Structure 1
Amino acid sequence: MATAAVRRMKLGSQGLEVSAQGLGCMGMSAFYGPPKPEADVVALIHHAVAAGVTLLDTSDMYGPHTNELLIGKALQGGVREKVQVSTKFAVSLADGKMEIRGDPAYVRAACEGSLERLGVDSIDLYYQHRVDKKVPIEVTVGELKKLVEEGKIKYIGLSEASASTIRRAHAFHPITAVQLEWSLWSRDAEEEIIPTCRELGIGIVAYSPLGRGFFSGGAKLYMPRFQPENIEKNTQIFDRVNEMATRKGCTPAQLALAWVHHQGDDVCPIPGTTKIENFNQNVGALSVKLTLEEMAELESCAAAGDVLGDRYPQMDNTWKDSDTPPLSSWKE
């Protein structure tokens, strides 16, 4: 069992309360090798809930669909009442072709599909996974607002959205959380997006807080930052973090995760894992205390210009180009 219960936090300013660290479930079904045995990951989820983790993060595209079905199985037997489930829509994989969709008919159909796979009456936090640049954000959020009014979702989130998109969405209906990549080596959101969220009272959910496994030894080797032309320089960052972790008496992963926790009470990291021992380590990061001097030292290890390579093999469909047409341009 994890050593200490996970504290609670308010996520955003609309009333949602979650554990201060969530559990990213994507890797249980997709993108990190073959799907893991169902019994093992259900046991992991139950272990996490017993330790005090309440925010379970999934998406209809993980699998696709199989991760939501897995979470649905884990929610049985009284678990549903103890957790907040977040899932996402927008990445359509129809006919083997990936398309980003935020039109009202798709939003509604995606929500109905997720409700059925998860086996729940309501989704606690429903994100637009990527922004549809063809559809005004007000149109997408307008359909989400209807789903809130119908009780099918409780709170609305955005993922990988630009500051201007977040502002427009929030002006139409309150946005509870923005999910973005934030870690010691992915810090570009600090320039504009995170200040915008804080100005508007929107919670911040940090995915890949361990640098896609970089700080925990489970790196995603096909990502640009792990390619031969970049990895030697980037490994030097790990070595510096590792040296500091040794001094602190914790693991590099715990140190990197503690850095995210120390960004503020409005930040909820959602590290993913498929192993109970790794989960316990991640929860241990909540007990790692950092001084201002240690924070500065850590940030000097991975200053913005030090990390080589992009976050993704291609940067399409992320916040850097997620602005949408004006509402006045929309024709049903």
Structure 2
Amino acid sequence: MFAHIIQTLPQVLIDGLTLGAVYAIIALGYTMVYGILELINFAHGEIFMSGAFIGTAILIGLTGVGWIAAFPAVVTLILVLLITSVATGFLGMGIERVAYRPLRKSSKLITLITAIGMSFLLQDFVRFITELKNGNYIVNTPALFSGKVSVSASSLSSLFDDATFKVTFIVVLLVAFCLMIGLEIFVNRTKWGMAMRAVAQDPDTASLMSINVNKVISLTFFIGSALGGATGVLFALHYGTIDPYIGFILGLKAFTAAVLGGIGNIRGAMFGGLMLGILEMFAAANLSTITGNVLGAEYKDVFAFAILILVLIFKPEGLFGKAVTEKV
């Protein structure tokens, strides 16, 4: 059993890092909004899904006019990421303005129900548009980067099996880490980032110090949604097939990653996403071996959530979170 786990480790790390990077960026959207509003924006998963469809639609359009064949893939990727990020950023701002801002003084339960309602609304809207244009709500994304790379892990040690990955693995990791590092710099090194941290700490005091709280909240939704939309493009490019329901399960897991790392903590969301992705791929590759074929790869979610429960039992605030004393 141990030998099998070691043999599959290189492939598990490759697949886990790819999936974990997707979870990490989506988790950033959850943790940013929660850090300021203490709101779980359950529509964020559907913003990620919308980004996947917007990016795919742009790629299909560019393929139709011959752009992809005429221009380098990197140029096309940057263009698609920029357009999709701006579109989903404004979508997130619109959702905040229409659905959340009027309920800001209401109970958190009402806002939570509204977020779930927006999630279903976006799902059905995207499905309706896709079926109207395509005749089917499952869409294949045009290949922008093709080819696979073999990793000769066995040459490093006879304990390892060789591994393979698609070129999009490198693309996903590079773009994901650039986005995460860029967000970290923005939040900690810029004037707007300082304003976001001030509003997260005490919105009333921040407003007394001439900070426009509504603008800061709108900016938070824009950035979080833009990141989610860009991640949707990366997901569509790597996995090749999307549907209007991919945002639900991925959004739920990304929220889990945010909780695992410590919701409201940006670095915690990054680490939680990467950790959850690796755990999930580890379970998919080795769960049947560990349990003697009692549990198969389809139970990988159970394994990942069991780890989450154990972590939260001993550290309820998450791995990077800080215990907060509630004021009475």
Q: Same fold (TM over 0.5)?
A: no
TM-score, normalised via structure 2 length: 0.27
Q: Which structure's residues are more often helix, by fraction?
A: 2
Q: TM-score, normalised by structure 1?
A: 0.26
Larger-gyration structure (1/2): 2
Q: Higher strand share goes to which structure?
A: 1
